[in-house]
Chain A
Amino acid sequence: MTEHVVIVGGGTGGTVLANDLADRLEPELDAGDVRVTLVNDDPDHVYKPVWLYVPFGQREPDDGRRALDDLVDDAIDLRIDRVSDIDTEARRLRFRGNSPPVSYDHLVLATGSTLEPDRIPGLAEAGHDYYSESGATDLRDELLAFTDGDLVLSVIGTPHMCPAAPLEFVFMADDWLRERGLREDVDITYTYPIQRVHGNPHIAEWARPLMEERDIRTETFFNAEAIDPETETITSMEGTELEYDLLVTIPPHAGVDLIEEAGLGDDGWVDVDRHTLEAEAAENVYALGDTADTGVPNAGSVAHYQAGVVGQRLASKIRGRPATATYDGKTLCFIETGMDAASFVEFDYEKPPSPAPPSEKLHWSKLAYNESYWLTARGLL
């Protein structure tokens, strides 16, 4: 009897896993003992880190798009549709489009993050972001025309995709404006919801002096409550009010509704064992990447490593062997500290990050990785 693995989500985690299984289970796939289906609601795979560079005119959104059909191994069934319902009792998925329901033996949820700007009054109207393709191109137009005034970057809530990206943006904006001779006419303010400038205390301790050196103002314990586009002010729950001329925000994030509706976790994040990535509320269900509530950063490297663990565990189970692979929280991250310098961190559940001194070499390493990302998606790197 054919065992059916269904992966929902064609971002980094889902795509790497699909290609990992195509390689790992090649004999079983060839023999028809196993079938793997990848479901995504967009025919394209999107590499979101490209968006950080779009506002500065360094990349185009198309640089981060490839057809899934070209990226995913031919042994994988690709279905372009949106899942509307997960029934973990019946082990069945339904779809919004014309696809008939699908039954699974093993389900992997890699549905990622969505943006919810409507949670904050005024945000959708007044805030700019680089966490969406349209947001990044709109922000590019604003930034190119911005020559003086208050630039405020506000991190509204966590978790959000790429915890380093807000720091990267203000460091890059500072450097970019200096290069253009505009920095003296622009005040940059960075706000963060808790009492330090980053969720991870080690990264916060590293970033804060850099921000002071670069004259980037900080407002901590700042949880945006409302934005008034008329007066161009942003107000926090803590009672602080900031004026802005250009407001860049990290909008509130959530997962997808169908996860909560299926009873797998709150806010669209699946409650999992953080080592095995198995869902706590259902059998034969895994989650990875942003979707898995493990407490590690919502980062592509996390999804990449977790996909390898889930791939190994699935292959073991399908072959009737004990699954022994576990995820140790491994996270790798380059952090841009300007237009031509970057730092690098590596950490896991046990070992805290220790950011490397910023260098040009690390900046080029980050750009080189961005170029070679497509090999990662194919499961080659």
Chain B
Amino acid sequence: MTDIEPDDTVDARGAACPGPLMDLIGRIRSAESGDVIRLLSDTDQSLTDVPEWAEEAGNELLAVEEIDDHNAFYVEKA
């Protein structure tokens, strides 16, 4: 369990790829620098999509948490 307190959560469970990543990008777009967004996704593709995009965009993937049938990604906006 992480103790990171997200500023916002995007629940993209049930969405097919690239829905979760696009939902995350959309929320990061409107976030402030330093905000932490938590993305909930149950597609395995997010395990590669999210780290790749976070690195490309210069944002930091703080943690990936495995919860039952989905993952929670914590991304801090640069």
Residues of chain A at the chain B interface (Cβ within 8 Å): 157-159, 193-195, 199, 201, 221, 223, 225, 237-239, 295
Contacts and interface: CB of A to CB of B under 8 A. Distances in A.
Contacts, number: 42
- Is the contact region of chain A dominated by helix, strand, or loop, or is it mixed? loop
Given A157-B22, A223-B25, A237-B29, 16 more contacts: A157-B25, A158-B18, A159-B22, A193-B18, A194-B18, A194-B22, A195-B53, A199-B17, A221-B52, A223-B57, A225-B29, A237-B25, A237-B28, A238-B58, A295-B15, A295-B19
B49 A195 contact: yes
Interface string B3-38: 000000000001111110110011011000000000
Nearest to B59: A237
Contacts of B49: 194-195
A237 B26 CA distance: 11
A225 B56 CA distance: 14
B44 to A, nearest CB: 13
A194 B26 CA distance: 12
A223 B29 contact: yes
A286 B50 CA distance: 33
B21 A194 contact: yes
Nearest to A194: B18
A322 B28 CA distance: 44
Contacts of A221: 52-53, 56-57
Contacts of A239: 57-58
A239 B15 CA distance: 27
A118 to B, nearest CB: 13
Contacts of B18: 158, 193-194, 199
Contacts of B58: 238-239
A287 to B, nearest CB: 15
Contacts of A237: 25, 28-29, 57
Contacts of B15: 295
Contacts of A223: 25, 29, 57
21 contacts: A157-B25, A157-B26, A158-B18, A159-B22, A193-B18, A193-B25, A194-B21, A195-B53, A195-B56, A199-B17, A201-B17, A221-B56, A221-B57, A225-B29, A237-B25, A237-B29, A237-B57, A238-B57, A238-B58, A239-B57, A295-B15
A156 to B, nearest CB: 10
Contacts of B25: 157, 193, 223, 237
B56 A238 contact: yes
A158 B28 CA distance: 15
Contacts of A194: 18, 21-22, 49, 53
Nearest to B16: A295
A200 to B, nearest CB: 9
B8 to A, nearest CB: 13
